[in-house]
Structure 1
Amino acid sequence: MPTQDTPPLKDGDLLAAVDLGSNSFHMVVARYVLGQLRIIDRIKETVRLAEGLDGRGGLDPSVMPRALDCLARFGQRIRTLPPSRVRALATNTVRQLGNPQAFLVPAETALGHGIEVVAGREEARLIYLGVAHGSPPDPGKRRLVMDIGGGSTETIIGEGFQALERESLQMGCIATTRRYFGDGRLSRKRWKEARIELAAEYQPFAERYRRLGWHEAMGSSGTIKAICDVSVKMKLTKVSVTDASLEAIRDKLLDFENISDIKLPGLSAERRPIFAGGLLVLDAAFGALGIERMYVSDHAMREGVLYDLIGRGSPEDPRAESIRAMQARYGVDLDQAARVEATALSLFDQAELAWGLDGDSRRQLAWAARIHEIGLAIAHSQYHQHGAYLVEHADIAGFSRTEQQILAALLRTQRRVINPSSFDKLPDRLVASVQRIALLLRLSVLIHRSHDRDPLPVVELDVDGDELLLRLPKRWLDGHPLTLLDLETERETLAGFGRRLTIRAL
């Protein structure tokens, strides 16, 4: 059964993408016109969030004000846009926080919109999507795309608009500068040793990338653009970075003894403190992957997020395709999944208004129903726990970490006792709605526990706050005594969770 979508995009609608990078925060606002995006506003602010990481999962409080002030300015620009037309993503630095909600809660308040944490490989997919739309690749030709951020580096091989290989490494211009040049001193010996260490990070996938191959390489975001600018100003290249120009820039850089002394043509004062780390990452990548020339794209993850927003409102939603792939990978009983989904969505439609649920909740419930049995591929015992683990920790194209944690919570609480800690990783703003759709999934799974292929009669549900009234035909209940017993047990389980379930015969 199809899920209920948010209102389709219309000509003139505005969309916004916010990228909370480890070095800079970006916002792009675009107008949807004739199926295309027309960029009408770009805002970038250097925040250097990664500078606040303390190596123990904490964030220096001194970086919070500049991050929140920036988001407040972004929020003023997109205050009138509906939530379905705005997507804000946090990347590597927030991924490393031991308690990301300590940052996300005030950040969401400042922005006025929800913020999702995106995993490294999903970040890579969005980067490729942005670059591919900015410079459409030639048909049938593969492209290598690389993005060096403040805390991580994403490397992708794609064809057309599809990312074929995605990797994310814990190295970026800020993190690498701090790691190898934290005292500000530069030396050729230190550079050589660091380059060997970084090149080793590419080894697990370098051979695979080389074997797959690509026709051209493109870099996105500020670090690679800054290196290209220096290459052009030094008259080494015209519109790209080559292995020879990279070597020349490196040799020139290492003529300086300290980062504060660096003076290179085309290098801005803002970029200077983190340039060495970014150059080192690119130098190691060129060597490990055998890159000879790299062009620069003006597009990056934020543009990819905009195009992904369009896809999310269409039948080609990448998340739906990922769910289908999981069903195939784990051998899901598709008929049973469809039965559970149909009942879950029927219950949702009856509870939607009273509980204030939205289209996002409906989609999450539908996807959870489609893959609720994937844990059976591991073992029947505790299969709900196995399924939750798979969903939470897998790389699922199209899903942010936040969305995967929602699915994991739904799968983990589909049966047996509901542990309130199952919802601890979710933002506070989402807990109530996720708990409610979890109840709907539980009832649907329970009603279809027998895997009976016979059509289910009308199931009626009334909800009022924490009270649920479920009505089923008496004849059907009489013919399914085990289900009736399960419903009675469920009533006791929900009572322990602070919910009241009443069962009546029609």
Structure 2
Amino acid sequence: MKVAVADVGTNSSHLLLAEASGGDYRVLDSLKDRTRLGECLDARGYLTPEGEDRLASALLRFRELSSAAGIPEVRVYATSALREAPNGPEVAARMRERTGIYPAIISGEREGQLTYLGAADSVEFGADNVLLDLGGGSLELARGGPQEAADVLSLPLGAIRMTRAFLTEEPPGRKALKAVQEHVRSLLLPFAARFQAGPGTRMILSSGTAEAAALAISAGRGHSGGHINGVTFSVVELEALLEQARSSRPAARARIPGFERRVDTIVAGLAVLHAALDVLGAREVTVSEGALREGMLIEELAQLQSYSGTLSVRQRSVLATAERFGANLAHAGQVATLSRGLLEALTHLGERFPEEARALLTAAAALHEAGLIVSQSSHHKHSAYLIRHADLRGFSPRDRELIAQIARYHRRSPPKPSHTEYMSLPSADRTLVCRLAAVLRVADGLDRAHAGGTRLGELSRDGKGWTLRLSGATPLDLLGAREKADLWAQVYGPLTFSPA
């Protein structure tokens, strides 16, 4: 089971390819693209055409590498640069048209949660941990236990942002550096109690700035090269490194180990980290190489394993078939989960379905895009053909035909009297296909971005209409669900969506 994840930041974009291995994962390949989107924001904060071109180029490279590894799709999350750009959602939509990849824009809080997950898998966390993750545009703080964050805060204190706002001369003067640190303190102090270091608190740093600091401090101790994951240093050592970087001219600064590609922003980055750690009362910190993309990877694999773990023997044969046809398993699993959730909600509200409905719907959801292995055009029809002729263990010929037709109607035209295969079904089976295909269409629309973030809230009925509460859906997901709620409206009544 292989997956590809990528994050788009203010300074760089990273791709990670991995394969599930037992209860863990094995990294297959990785790629870093210095997109530097922070340089491509106009005076109003809009991402410029040059920035869009840089991003498109990176996404195309990511898609090429993942395809070569046999991974059909890359899940991409975008952080501060697109999150704060007024045209961020429009840029994300254009990226989907230009590259076939949709960079889903996530909140700072979501970013912090995933980064915490990635860091907790890279270094040993204790009962109480505080993570600081510094990017080009923002600083995320997260506090939690051994595995998950319980409290997350995102502040606009990124290294590129602070460099542009305060450090305009080389080398930066002490007055300018003090201005950076006072700004950090002013923004962080109102929240300091939530992230204050206690007697048993482990303070963790992640990000390129933190890794660069670990390399430089390790080199100063006489250790060169090697991994820096788990390297520990004191805040006093960080302060000395900050002064060394501040007082050095760019050419000399570039010779400090770890600083080669961060000459322009490293002073601001170190200043932000030092000021934040000082406010929180930290004395010692540990650096984690695991961050956002590792957290994305862990979450993605966990979702896939959880999905496969809920399947019966015959449903696992469906999953194996989907994998054989090169289907995007993450998307298939998300659509199956959403489909089952919608079916359960309908049942709870009095809609009646035959006993086999859940198994048929789950199988159709897992295989609805199998036809992409043939071609993008009319892939819903190709999916139906492949399902009819697949060796789906445990399913009868009737079951396979129903699964094929439910999958066939996940997109484009709903069932029509002119459709021969549909009309050849008994009346009760035609009704079942319509009712389950209506659910599948909405579920597929709710993951149109293939970001896997949509979570179902309450489904309620009011008169002849329905309202579905959602969380985590991207604008593209909401658009997809509205466009694909046509068959639901015919079968059950109009469906609208609202925030949970």
Normalising by the smaller structure, the TM-score range is 0.5 to 0.7
Matches within 5 A, 1:73-88: 73-79=61-67, 86-88=74-76
Aligned to 2:265, the other structure's residue is in SS state: helix
- Name which of 273, 290, 304 aligns with 1:282: 273
Residue 240 of structure 1 corresponds to which residue in structure 2?
A: 232
Q: Which has the higher contact order (CA 8 A, sep 6+)?
A: 1
Contact 1:45 1:70 in 2 (8 A): yes
Asked if 1:52 is matched to 2:43, the reply is no
> Which residue matches 1:32?
20
C-alpha distance in 2 between matches for 1:44 and 1:342: 51
Give the alignment partner of residue 198 of structure 1, picking from 164, 179, 184.
184
Equivalent pair of 1:20/1:91 in contact (CA under 8 Å): yes
Q: CA deviation at 1:230?
A: 1.7
Match of 1:313, SS? helix
Q: Which among 329, 336, 339 is matched to residue 349 of structure 2?
A: 339
Compared CA separation, residues 154 and 354, structure 1 to 2 (3 A): same
1:161 paired residue among 128, 147, 155: 147
Q: 2:476 and 2:263 mapped to 1: Cα distance?
A: 38
* Contact in 1 for aligned 2:128/2:202 (Cα 8 Å): yes
Task: Say which is worse superposed, 55-64 or 102-111, in terms of deviation.
Answer: 102-111
Retained in 2: the 8 A contact 1:131–1:304? yes
Question: In structure 2, what is the Cα distance between the partners aligned to 1:75 and 1:29?
Answer: 11
CA shift, 1:44, in A, is 1.0
How many angstroms apart in 1 are the aligned matches of 2:163 and 2:441?
Answer: 40
Q: Contact between 2:5 and 2:74, CA under 8 Å: does it hold in 1?
A: yes
Q: Is the 8 A contact 2:40 2:51 kept in 1?
A: yes
Residues 206 and 291 in structure 2, CA contact (< 8 A), matched pair in contact too: yes
* Counterpart residue type for residue 187 of structure 2: E
Aligned positions, number: 381
| Equivalent position of 1:483 in the other structure | none
The residue aligned with 1:371 is 458
Q: Retained in 1: the 8 A contact 2:203–2:285?
A: yes
Aligned twin of 1:121 = 109
Q: Distance in 1 between matches of 2:32 and 2:101?
A: 18
* Partner SS, residue 101 of structure 2: coil
1:369 Cα deviation (Å)?
Answer: 6.2
How far is the alpha carbon of 1:109 from its aligned partner? 4.6
Is contact 1:21-1:93 (8 Å) kept?
Answer: yes
Contact 1:338-1:370 within 8 A present in 2 as well: no
What do residues 248-301 of structure 1 show as CA deviations (whole Å, max 9, x unaligned)?
Answer: 112223324x65663552143311111111111101111111111111112111
Deviation of the 1:150 alpha carbon:
0.9
**Separation in 1 of the partners of 2:293 and 2:29?**
12
Output the TM-score relative to the length of structure 2.
0.65
Amino acid at match of 1:434: A
Please report how far the alpha carbon of residue 59 of structure 1 lies from its aligned counterpart in structure 2 after TM superposition. 1.5
Whole-Å separation in 2 of the counterparts to 1:130 and 1:19: 13
Pick the aligned partner of 1:306 from 284, 297, 307: 297
Structure 1 residue 40, shift from structure 2 partner: 1.2
2 CA distance for matches of 1:149 and 1:128? 14
Q: For 1:176-195, what aligned pairs fall within 5 Å after superposition?
A: 176-184=162-170, 186-195=172-181
Deviation at 1:335, TM superposition (A): 8.4
Cα pair 2:254 2:261 within 8 Å, conserved: no
The residue that corresponds to 2:54 in the other structure is 66
1:341 and 1:370 map into 2 onto residues whose CA distance is 18
Is contact 1:19-1:301 (8 Å) kept?
yes
1:485-500 equivalence runs, <5 A: none
**1:253 aligned to 2:303?**
no
**Gapped regions of structure 1 (runs ≥ 5):** 1-12, 324-333, 377-382, 406-424, 444-467, 472-486, 495-506
SS in 2 for 1:113: coil
Change (3 A) 1:370 1:132: same
Which amino acid counterpart does residue 122 of structure 2 have in structure 1? G
Distance 2:289 2:36 in 1: 21
Which of 57, 79, 83 is equivalent to 1:95? Answer: 83
- TM-score, normalised on structure 1? 0.65
**Identity over aligned residues, as a percent?**
24
In the TM superposition, residue 38 of structure 1 has moved relative to its aligned partner by: 0.4
Q: Does 1:362 align with 2:460?
A: no
Whole-Å separation in 2 of the counterparts to 1:111 and 1:44: 18
State the AA in 2 paired with 1:63.
G
- Structure 1: distance between partners of 2:185 and 2:284: 18
- 1:378-415 Cα shifts (integer Å, max 9, x gaps): xxxxx97xx97xx6xxxx6xx4xxxx34xxxxxxxxxx
- CA distance in 2 between counterparts of 1:363 and 1:162 reads 29
Say whether 1:353 aligns with 2:440: no
Residue 182 of structure 1 deviates from its aligned partner by 3.2
Residue 434 of structure 1: aligned partner: 481
Residue deviations 1:165-218, cap 9 Å, x none?
A: 111111111111111113445111121122111112112221122277753122
1:360–1:236 CA distance, 2 compared to 1 (3 A): farther
What amino acid is the match of 1:70? Answer: A
Separation in 2, partners of 1:173, 1:372: 43
Return the alpha-carbon distance in structure 1 between the equivalents of residues 101 and 154 of structure 2.
27
Change (3 A) 1:440 1:26: same
Following superposition, the deviation at residue 161 of structure 1 comes to: 1.3
Given the superposition, is the C-alpha separation of residues 255 and 158 from structure 1 closer, same or farther in structure 2, using an over 3 Å criterion? same
The answer as to whether partners of 1:91 and 1:119 remain within 8 angstroms in 2 is yes
Structure 2 Cα separation of the partners of residues 244 and 342 of structure 1:
67
Aligned counterparts of 1:102 and 1:342: Cα–Cα separation in 2 = 41
8 Å Cα contact 1:19-1:25 kept in structure 2: yes
Which residues of structure 2 form unaligned runs of 5+?
A: 311-332, 338-343, 365-404, 412-436, 448-453
Q: How far did 1:85 drift?
A: 6.0
Tell me how far apart the structure 2 counterparts of residues 28 and 167 of structure 1 sit (CA, whole Å): 25
* Letter aligned with residue 310 of structure 1: L
**What CA distance in whole angstroms lies between the structure 2 residues aligned with 1:160 and 1:353?**
45
1:170 maps to 2:156: yes
The Cα shift of 1:363 comes to: 7.7
- 1:294 and 1:33 map into 2 onto residues whose CA distance is 31
> Deviation of residue 361 (structure 1)?
4.6
- The 5-angstrom pairing of residues 11-22 of structure 1 reads 13-22=1-10
Structure-2 separation of matches of 1:69 and 1:235: 40
Mapped partners of 2:297, 2:200: distance in 1 = 26
Paired with 1:338 and 1:440, the residues of 2 have a C-alpha distance of 20
Cα contact 2:135–2:207 (8 A) shared by 1 = yes
CA distance in 1, matches of 2:209, 2:440: 38
Q: Is the 8 A contact 1:231 1:245 kept in 2?
A: yes
Distance 2:302 2:117 in 1: 11
- SS of 1:182's partner is coil
